[in-house]
Amino acid sequence: MKLVFERSIQGTGSTLLPPNDVEAYDLQEPYQRKLALHFPELTEGELSRHYSELESNAFGVNRGFYPLGSCTMKYSPKLNEECAALPGFADIHPLQPAHTVQGCMEAMALAEKLLCEITGMDNLTFQPAAGAHGEFTGLQLIKKYHDSRGDSKRVELIVPDTAHGTNPASASMGAFKTVAIPSKADGLVDLDALKAVVGENTAGLMLTNPSTLGLFEKDIVEIAKTVHEAGGLLYYDGANLNPVMGVVRPGDTGFDIVHLNLHKTFSTPHGGGGPGAGPVGCKAYLSEFLPLPRIVEEQGSLRFCSDSENSIGRVKAFYGHFLVIIKALAYILTLGKEGIPYAAQNAVLNANYMMKSLEDLYTVAYPGRCMHEFVLSAESLKKRTGVSAMDVAKALMDHGMHPPTVYFPLNVHEALMVEPTETESKPTIDAAVKVYREIYDLAFTNPALLHEAPVKAAIRRPDEVRAARTLVLRHSFSS
Amino acid sequence: MTTPTNYSYTKTHEWIQFLDEETATSGITDFAQKALSDIVFINMPSEGDEVTCGESFADIESVKAVADINSPVSGTILETNETVEEDPSVINEDPYGSWIVKIGHIRAKDDLMNAEEYDRFCEEEEQ
């Protein structure tokens, strides 16, 4: 399809924008633009067609089943949007004096309190813009903590081999050295391997629990003890909090720092519908290191406090993505104390139901009970039929559903990682299971059809090598 | 693809060809390039870097995954293969002809396999 700039017809226009109510001001040299801006010129009708076409080429939770493993693509309730659009939240400016936006401050303070209660943390910052940014922020807390004790040799972060790729990446960004530890045959953290690598250089352990294999690290208390006794801290990657929210509190199992993905666990829009939010919570003894500003209460009113000698400093302008916080708060208040664990339990139930419905055909990488997601391996299917995990994923697109995460985690060959989430009904999951089973059968009867898939999608098989090697990151205007 | 008999192999699917007692070239095996699929990028070490047996000296990115390349020996990087760096897809076409680094001053070797042992090792991995 064409870009909006390519649809532009000079001289056409629309009257979508209200008249300018600010006095015109001529900027002087050197601030004056030399070239006119490239604004597309379209009639309202053409513009509407452009966005409708974009929408028809995109796939989201609103369109169909979206079991993208470790991404928790749950439905984003419309009520969240309605709350965030309330004028008191929407029509404010981040530079407004705190006493004029006490309601907004109170909403953020309440969201902090509730997320602390869910995670077992004492304080939390909303500054980080998304999950990986939260990781970076959390690791800065670890660094600052060790530095504050004059313990400068702690440069190693331990990361299991099932970790999200962002973990070692964040470690590198934070100037740590990643020490990877292999999982045991059952997919869980190998305590002996952990004990062999902890020591005076250990800054901490980054752990996702449940892991990306959809398994709960049942030795978590022993793991925490091992890391703490070596002088390290425990970092909780909140990507997979969904199946334990309101059931297990990371803080109670020994974690010192937590990041959350509000756009995963707490139902705020995800992907192109973002922005995300990656709040970071910590235990009280680390709170002095949190980024500034922080919300504090003083004589009955709330204000932003920007003075703390030991803070790691700012990690983002203002205080994060405010309206995303409001949407997450609306979700938490809607579900309440009973609804939060109930949602978690249903996420686990849905995943187990779907896994059980497929385990006689596809190989379940780690059989037994799973948490919010499960990993299938198409390795034996590929050996027998030539049909790979990628072929299965592409074929699913022709059936109006999003493929699961593929080729991750790395320790499972031909991995298909499926996370249905709690917001899918039994009929939806049954329909998906039927399609997964049909594709499996087709691999034996007509594999060529699967190598060709997708045939109905807007984009069929993109040239991934070219996409990775020849990056086109900006549009070049012809004039 | 036949596994060259004049090379040695690691359990993490690297090959090494000794040019003399102290110098060798190293790359990744056919098994490794197949598992990775289309390779798009290699993060090369610098000349003069010290490498250690079994520790990563480069990382390699394919359309599917990013993986470490581990050193079969301890020594010093003498040279990196610019042709491979510019277009790493040559590894997919010719894994045993596409050396990634040349290592010198070799002082220790990993527990290496010969071609026959490596083929057997890959067969076991497949099962």
Note whether A410 contacts B38, CB cutoff 8 Å: no
Between residues A271 and A120, the one the model is more confident about: A120
Note whether A468 contacts B40, CB cutoff 8 Å: yes
pLDDT of residue A434: 98
A410 touches chain B (CB under 8 A): yes
pLDDT interval class at A275 (50, 70, 90): confident
Does any domain span residue A180? Answer: yes
pLDDT of residue A479: 58
Express each pLDDT in B49-83 by its tens digit.
Answer: 999 999 899 999 998 888 899 999 999 999 999 99
Note whether A465 contacts B67, CB cutoff 8 Å: no
Note whether A468 contacts B63, CB cutoff 8 Å: yes
Specify the CATH number for the domain of residue A456. 3.90.1150.10
Q: Examine the pLDDT at A273 and tell me if it is beyond 80.
A: no
What angle separates helix A322-358 from helix A426-445, to the nearest 10 degrees?
A: 50
Note whether A407 contacts B89, CB cutoff 8 Å: no
pLDDT of residue A464: 86
Report the residue of chain B nearest A463, measured CA to CA.
B63
Q: Examine the pLDDT at A384 and tell me if it is beyond 80.
A: yes
Q: In the predicted model, what is the mean pLDDT of residues A44-63?
A: 92
d(CA A391, CA A378): 10
pLDDT interval class at A270 (50, 70, 90): confident
Distance from CA of B40 to the nearest CA of A (A): 6
Of A383, A410, A465, the CB nearest to B65: A410
Does any domain span residue A354? Answer: yes
Q: In the predicted model, what is the mean pLDDT of residues A430-435?
A: 98
Chain B hits for A410, CB-CB cut-off 8 Å, are 65, 67
Note whether A165 contacts B66, CB cutoff 8 Å: yes
Poorest-confidence range of A54-63, A289-298, A440-449, B37-46? Answer: A54-63
Report the residue of chain B nearest A166, measured CA to CA.
B66
Does any domain span residue A242? Answer: yes
d(CA A150, CA A9): 64
Do A151 and A272 lie in a common domain?
A: yes
Report the residue of chain A nearest B61, measured CA to CA.
A468
B65 touches chain A (CB under 8 A): yes
Of A410, A413, A464, the CB nearest to B38: A464
Of B40, B67, B126, the CB nearest to A469: B40
| A199 contact partners, CB below 8 Å, separation of at least 6 | A230
Of A407, A408, A468, the CB nearest to B41: A468
pLDDT of residue A64: 94
Express each pLDDT in A143-192 by its tens digit.
Answer: 999 999 999 999 999 999 889 989 999 999 999 999 999 999 999 999 99
Do A187 and A271 lie in a common domain?
A: yes
Q: Examine the pLDDT at B29 and tell me if it is beyond 70.
A: yes
d(CA A94, CA A101): 9
Q: In the predicted model, what is the mean pLDDT of residues A435-450?
A: 98
Residue A27's Cβ-count burial label (10 Å; 0-12, 13-18, 19+) is exposed
Q: Hey, what are A376's tokens? A: 């299938």
The β-bridge relationship of strands A156-160 and A177-181 is parallel
Do A379 and A323 lie in a common domain?
A: no
A468 touches chain B (CB under 8 A): yes
pLDDT of residue A272: 65
Q: In the predicted model, what is the mean pLDDT of residues A415-430?
A: 97
Of A289, A306, A334, which residue is a domain's last?
A334
Q: Examine the pLDDT at A73 and tell me if it is beyond 70.
A: yes
pLDDT of residue B105: 96
Note whether A465 contacts B66, CB cutoff 8 Å: no
Poorest-confidence range of A18-32, A278-292, B16-30? Answer: A18-32
Does any domain span residue A33? Answer: no
Of B35, B40, B66, the CB nearest to A465: B40
Express each pLDDT in A235-247 by its tens digit.
Answer: 999 999 999 999 9
pLDDT interval class at A104 (50, 70, 90): very high
Does any domain span residue A347? Answer: yes
pLDDT of residue A145: 98
A413 touches chain B (CB under 8 A): yes
Q: What is the overall mean pLDDT for chain A?
A: 94
| A228 contact partners, CB below 8 Å, separation of at least 6 | A234, A254
pLDDT interval class at A470 (50, 70, 90): confident
pLDDT interval class at A420 (50, 70, 90): very high
pLDDT of residue A274: 67
Note whether B61 contacts A468, CB cutoff 8 Å: yes
Please identify among residues 359-388 of chain A the ones whose CB lies closer than 8 Å to any CB of chain B: 383
Of A408, A413, A465, the CB nearest to B63: A465
Do A307 and A375 lie in a common domain?
A: no
Total structural domains within chain A: 3
Do A273 and A420 lie in a common domain?
A: no
pLDDT interval class at A409 (50, 70, 90): confident
d(CA A311, CA A286): 10
Q: In the predicted model, what is the mean pLDDT of residues A15-22?
A: 81
Express each pLDDT in B92-127 by its tens digit.
Answer: 999 999 999 999 999 988 789 999 999 999 998 876
Does any domain span residue A87? Answer: yes
Report whether the peptide linkage leading into residue A275 is cis, meaning its omega lies within 30 degrees of zero.
Answer: yes
Q: Examine the pLDDT at A16 and tell me if it is beyond 80.
A: no
Q: Hey, what are A339's tokens? A: 């609804």
Residue bearing tokens 């807007």: A458
pTM: 0.90
pLDDT interval class at A20 (50, 70, 90): confident
pLDDT of residue A39: 87
Distance from CA of A381 to the nearest CA of B (A): 13
Where helices occur in A400-446 by DSSP H, the ranges are 426-445
Of A407, A410, A465, the CB nearest to B89: A465
User: What phi, psi does B18 have (nearest 5°)?
Assistant: -80, 125
Note whether A410 contacts B67, CB cutoff 8 Å: yes
Q: Which CATH architecture has domain B8-111?
A: Beta Barrel (2.40)
With b for 16 or more beta-carbon neighbours within 10 A and e for fewer, the A181-193 pattern comes to: bebeeebbbbeeb
Does any domain span residue A479? Answer: no
Q: Which of A382, A465, A470, A471 is the best mutation test for B, with the most CBs of B within 10 A?
A: A465
Do A159 and A111 lie in a common domain?
A: yes
Do A237 and A98 lie in a common domain?
A: yes
d(CA A134, CA A127): 8
Q: Examine the pLDDT at A286 and tell me if it is beyond 70.
A: yes
Range of the domain at A50: 1-23+38-57
The domain segmentation of chain B, as residue ranges, is 8-111
To the nearest 10°, report the CA torsion of A113, A116, A121, A122: 0
Instruction: Write down the ipTM of this complex.
Output: 0.79
Express each pLDDT in A318-361 by its tens digit.
Answer: 899 999 999 999 999 999 999 999 999 999 999 999 999 999 99
Of A334, A355, A379, which residue is a domain's last?
A334
Do A117 and A138 lie in a common domain?
A: yes
Note whether B40 contacts A413, CB cutoff 8 Å: no
Of A299, A316, A334, which residue is a domain's last?
A334
Q: Which of B11, B40, B86, B125 is the best mutation test for A, with the most CBs of A within 10 A?
A: B40
Q: Which of B13, B33, B38 is the best mutation test for A, with the most CBs of A within 10 A?
A: B38
| A443 contact partners, CB below 8 Å, separation of at least 6 | A381, A384, A385, A387, A391, A392, A450
Hey, which residues does A202 pair with through a beta bridge? A156
Q: Hey, what are A471's tokens? A: 């990056």
Chain B hits for A470, CB-CB cut-off 8 Å, are none
B89 touches chain A (CB under 8 A): yes
Do A176 and A229 lie in a common domain?
A: yes
Please identify among residues 7-36 of chain B the ones whose CB lies closer than 8 Å to any CB of chain A: 35
A407 touches chain B (CB under 8 A): yes
